[in-house]
Each structure stands twice: as structure tokens, then as C-alpha cells.
Chain A
Amino acid sequence: MLEHVLNGFYYGSILFMIASGMTIIFGVLGILNLAHGELYALGAFCAFSIVGFLAGQVAAPTGPATAIVFGLVVLAGSLAAAAVLLPVGGALEATFIRPIYDRDEVYQLLLTYGLLLVLTDVMKFVWGPSPVDVGVFSAVNEIPTTELVGFGYPSYNVLVILIGVAVFAWLAWFFDRTKTGRIVRATAINREMSTAIGVSTDRMFTLVFAIGAFFAGFGGAMVSIGPSSASLGMGLSWLVLSFVVIVIGGLGSLKGAFVGALLVGVSSRVVTPYYPQLELAVPFLLMVLVLLVRPEGLYGTWGEIQ
């Protein structure tokens, strides 16, 4: 059972990394971004190129020292891959999203769906139609962190769980403790007042969309260095699950996204061995249950980031 729970934390951590970006974008901008899954896929493809290149510059792990070096290089490469999404996200917001903030939601859905298709074709053009694999998963698992949990467990999974917690901690710190984060939250709560006191909402919104894209890309990079390949269409199922997570957690709530992701991850991993037919249904059953009890989600804060 402990291993199933750990599997759930691993699965939930990946979900959180993807859902956090969606939560940020929705919580501040009010944009339901259907292209979020493709930003995630773009991060995975970028990781293929960047991590693949960087990993080729260092030796595969043969001992503790080389393992640490290898792990750091892979992590740095993943961050670099996600960083590609910063200008991409910023440019998308400034070019396409900004003109439609005041339009009906249907415009957002159509536009972001169009972006989804365009991004898919861009990835097809750059990386081709077939799946690509970074090929560092086995080497990451040579890192001897499994000894920390007392039994044989993939180092990669432990790494993902730790990074998931770190991402949550950083986002909580950023929005709670930094001036920029507080300005973002203030802008989300009251755009007119923020503008009146001299905040550039355009700049803030571009920043927020770029940050959201960054975390989508980082989630993709973490999956890409893992056991899965980067492939066209890989974002769709994660996009749907991300929606489930942010609805369970409460729209706009980072804490909700974190708790929701872990709940979805652990419940689906624990239930599956005993009721395999429920593997797909568990996240949705959980969502229905939460909505029946708390229609606003566990920590719903519509319109602001908390």
C-alpha cells in the first residue's frame, strides 16, 4: 500500500506541475486555456532537444558524484526547456489573448483551441510526427536516492515528488511574499484599482501567462525525462485531468490545485489495483463528490490566486 501511495504522490506531482500553470492563468486572467496541454507538450519536446544535448555532454552516472552531476544537468536542462515557454507564453498572450479579454468566453475557447492546433503543427514541423525520447530515464534512476525511502523505489519518482513540493513552495512564496506576486494577486482581484494605482495590467497579464506556460512546460519536461516519450497529442489527457484537478481544488487556488492533484493521484493509484475498471473514472467521481459537498471546490477563490 505504501508503494501505491508513493505512486500516487508521483502521479499527483506531475499533475500539479501542469495544473498549477492552468490555475495561475485562469485565476488571474480568467482564461480557460485549451492550449495548455500543448504548452506542456512543447516543454516535453524542448526537453528532448535541450536535455538530450546537455546529457550528452556529461558522463552517465557511475558513482555518487557523477550521479549528482548527471541529475543536476538533467534538472538544469529541464528548467532550460521550460524557460523556452516564457517568451512563447508571453508572445501568445500579447498577440492573441490580450485582444479578447472583454469578449465572451466562447472566443477564448475558440482562440485557445486554434492555438492548440497551431502549436501541434509547429511541433510536428520542428520535431516530426513520431514520438521522441530523451533517453535519460534509466540514468536518472541510477541516482541512489531510493535508499532514502528504505526500499527499492525509482529515483525518478522520488525526484518528481520532491520537485512537485518545491514548485508548490516556490509558487506559494512568490504570490505571498514577493512584491510582484502581490501585485499579480491585487490585479486579479481588482483590475481597475490596480490600474488606478499605476500597475501595468498588460505587463502583469503577460507575465502571468508566461509563468503559467513555464510550469506547463516544466511538467512536460519532467515527463519527457521520465519513462514516457514526447509525442504529438500527449497533452490532451493531461489537459482534461488538469481541469479536474483545478475544479476539485477550487478555481484559482494554488493550494487547491496542490491538494486536488495529490488527491487525484493517490486515489486513482490506490483504487486501480482493486477496482481496475475505475481507473479512468476515479478522478471524475472524486470531482463529483467534491462538487456535491463544496460546489466552489476545496479552496475555491474565483478571481484571485491564493
Chain B
Amino acid sequence: MTTGPLTAAESDGIDRRTLLKTVGGSALAVALAGCTELLEDGEDSLADADVPDEPIESGLQTFTEGAPSVLGVQAQYGAETAVRRINENDGIAGREMNLDVVEEGGAYLTNYQQFVDEGKDVTFGPISSSGHAEMVPEIEAQEVINVSTDGTVTTLYEEDFPDVTYSFRFQNHDVMEALAAVMQAVEVLGSDSIDTYAGINPNYAFGQDEMDLFSRGIEALTGAEEVYSGFPDLGTGDMSTHITEVNGEAPDIVFSSCWGGDATLLLEQGHANGMFDAVDLLVGPVLYGSANDLSEDLVDGPIYSGSRNFYWGEPSTDRWSPAADLVSEVEDEYGVVPTAHFMSGYGAVTAWATAAEKAVRLLGRWPEQEELATVLENHGFFTPAGYHTIGVDHQGYSNAHFGELTWSSDHDAAALADVNVFAAKNVSPPPGETSADWIGSW
């Protein structure tokens, strides 16, 4: 297998012709890819389509308050930005789009059912893996498409619900970021220098899933031994016990899928307890999700973070104007730098919107839910993060990013340096194979 990262040019380089061809020349698709200037000749194949006049009604559930809002509000900003761009470009096949946002909290099912009762054409979210797993049977029963922004637990579509119709996920699933962390660690330290590893991960499906996948990957590539694995409660107030244990074992690598307030807590207490003197490397797939809450002193040390399928500085924004334009737009509109969770919201809306317009082209009318679900399978589309596909297994696939946590004076926010881009095929199993089996075959 190929495990090495791609260069930026290999991963995201695309010429205008390719982009236009891929997005079908649609004003909407080009706008959502962030390249409005690329559309040359307006084509009018949608003009005769039988499309209702009324706006599309959509709903997003995400964490809008409390500790998880560090991620959830970014997803909200992303979805709002995508909807804004859709409406500024004459909607989807001429239909404008409305978006209602509700607090995810613990009300995943209620929120989805409420959206369906209100007659929503499509729903987006949730962030939570547990919530997503809880929702899938209901989505299949209600037959209204949901594109999850995150909810990335690997087992969801591989094992728990391998045959679904209406439930989709935009964001890369866990195996992609856990294995990107493995490969980043090997890239930084070298496989011969990695003898021991430890983990501090949140105590629920996502954290356990990520630790399991990281363990399988790092042991397969380096033969390293796990010396400690702690699972603090999600939203815990104290991780000092786990950090004390890690310090005592002094492993070569610490892996942590902590996110939101847990990520900042880990970095705060890690620094205070000297963890970054005791270990060679901390790799955290979603530490950067808390970018806007990290201070300059927290990013000091051998800390590498993933940024799922989007990092605003990769490829360099002076060579990739869609990302640069998006950063400016988001900073002006919301006063934050967009993170991968921004792209979770943006990408989920974009996946559905571009598929809907594609379906209208194919059918000459607005599609039924089942028809649109069929089009979403194997659907490919662009965002400012590059090219994405929704697989036949209903999972999102795109490049995974990993880099050293650092500080950007220009943006006055945490940033990533020396970013590696891992192609989806190098960090996720081929269709029909489970992640555990695939890693076991390395």
C-alpha cells in the first residue's frame, strides 16, 4: 500500500478545464466550489426543468451552545455560508434555500422528527457520533435525506448500518483521521524510533473507535507497544490523572482524539504537568477543531494535529484562491478562522445541493427523495477544500490533512505548519472491506 503524504500540487492542483468539466459548468456548483470567476458561458439546460417555485426548506442540528459549540458553531457558520452562496447564485435549479438551525444537545431524534414534521426537504447534522448512530434507523423510516456533518464513527456504515438509503455523511470517517495520525507520527519520528505509545481519548464511541484504529495502525506499521490508554469523560473537568500516567510511562507518542473544551483542557494540563517534556510527540486528529480557542502558549511543543478534510492554509492560499476567498469571507462575516468543522457544515450542504441540481438535469424535474438519494451515491463535487466524493457506502471521502500546531500572527490564531495531505485511498479501506480487516492486511 502507499502510505506517504501527497504534495499539495498532487492533491489539490486542478486546472480550470477540469473543474468546469467536473462540476458540469453549473453556476451553483462553481459557486460552492468557491470559484465563481471560472464560469464562462452560462448554460441553460435547467431552464425547461419542472421545478417548484417555493424555496427549499432545510434544517441543521448542531451544537450551538456550551462546550461542544467550539465545533458546532463552526458547522453552523459553514452551512450558513453555503446557503448564502447558493442563494446569491440563483438557488438550486432556480430554487432558493432556507436553513433553520437548532441546538443538537441530546435531542437528535426529536430534532430530526421535528424537521420532518415541518416538511423540511433535507436535514443536516449532527456533530455527535452517538447521535448520528441513534438517528440512522429513524432517517431510514422517515425517508427524508439527512447528510450528517460529522458523526464520524467508522463502524456506523461499515458494520452497524451497511445498507442504508437516505442517511449520508459528508465528513471523513474516523479511520481516515486515525490513520493519518499514524502516518504523520511515522513521518515525524520514523518507524524505528517509535517503541511505545499511549492514548487519552474521550470516553464514548468516537474516542474509543479512534484509539482502537490508531492502535491497530501504529502497531502494524511500527510494532510499537501500548503503555497506557485513558478515557476521560466527555466534557471532563480534569485530566490530570491520565496526564500523570502518561508522564510516568514517557511513551514516544501520545494519541488523543479529544476535541472542543477537552482539547484545550488536555493542552492546558499537559503543559502545566510537563507532558510535552515527557513525550516525543502528541498527535491529535481534531485538536485543531479548537483553533479559535487556543492561545499561543498552548501550541508550543511537539504537537501535531489533523484538520480532517480541510485546512484553510493548504494548499497555500496564494495558490488556491477558493480557500483564500473563503477565509476572508468567514473572518469578515464571523470573526473566526474556518476550521474543518466549518467545512463539515459547508460540505454537507454542498453535497446535497450539487446532487439535487444534478438530479434535476438528469430528470428534467425536481427529484423525489429516493431519486436524490441515488444521485448522492458516488456523487463527486468541489468545495474550497478540494474534491470530495460520497461513496456508495454513503460515507464522505476526501483528502486528510495533518500538520504541526503553530501560531499565525497574521490571523492571531492557531495554525498548522508543514501540512501533509493524505489521499483518501491511503487512509481508508477499499469499498466492501472493513477498516479493521484492511489494517490487519498491512
Contacts and interface: CB of A to CB of B under 8 A. Distances in A.
B70 A130 contact: yes
Interface of B: 64-67, 69-70, 73, 203, 228-233, 235, 237-238, 240-242, 244-245, 261, 264-265, 268-269, 271-274, 293, 295, 297-298
Interface of A: 3-4, 7, 10-11, 14, 124, 129-131, 133, 135, 137-138, 141, 152-154, 156-157, 223, 226-229, 231-234, 237-238, 269, 272-273, 276-277, 279-280
A142 B242 CA distance: 22
A7 B271 CA distance: 15
B412 to A, nearest CB: 13
A229 B233 contact: no
B293 A7 contact: no
A68 to B, nearest CB: 19
A273 B67 contact: no
Given A7-B244, A154-B273, A238-B237, A129 B261 contact: no
Given A3-B244, A276-B230, 9 more contacts: A124-B65, A131-B70, A138-B268, A141-B271, A156-B272, A227-B268, A233-B65, A272-B242, A279-B203
18 contacts: A11-B238, A129-B69, A131-B67, A138-B295, A138-B297, A141-B271, A157-B240, A157-B272, A226-B268, A227-B272, A228-B268, A233-B65, A234-B237, A237-B237, A272-B241, A273-B228, A273-B230, A279-B203
Nearest 5 Cβ contacts at the A-B interface = A129-B65, A227-B268, A154-B272, A233-B66, A7-B240
Nearest to A227: B268
A228 B237 contact: yes
Of A131, A153, A223, A279, the most chain B CB neighbours within 10 A belong to A131
A103 B265 CA distance: 43
B241 A273 contact: yes
B235 to A, nearest CB: 7
A141 B240 CA distance: 14
B69 A130 contact: yes
Contact of A276 (B64, B231, B268): B231
A137 B272 contact: yes
Given A7-B241, A131-B261, A232 B229 contact: no
A3 to B, nearest CB: 5
B292 to A, nearest CB: 9
Contacts of B293: 131, 133, 229
Nearest to B247: A3
Contacts of A141: 271-272
A237 B235 contact: yes
A276 B69 CA distance: 27
Nearest to B235: A237
Contacts of A237: 233, 235, 237
A8 B227 CA distance: 22
Given A231-B67, A232-B65, A272 B230 contact: yes
Nearest to A14: B237
Given A129-B73, A138-B297, A229 B261 contact: yes
B241 A130 contact: no
B265 A228 contact: yes
Contacts of B241: 4, 7, 269, 272-273
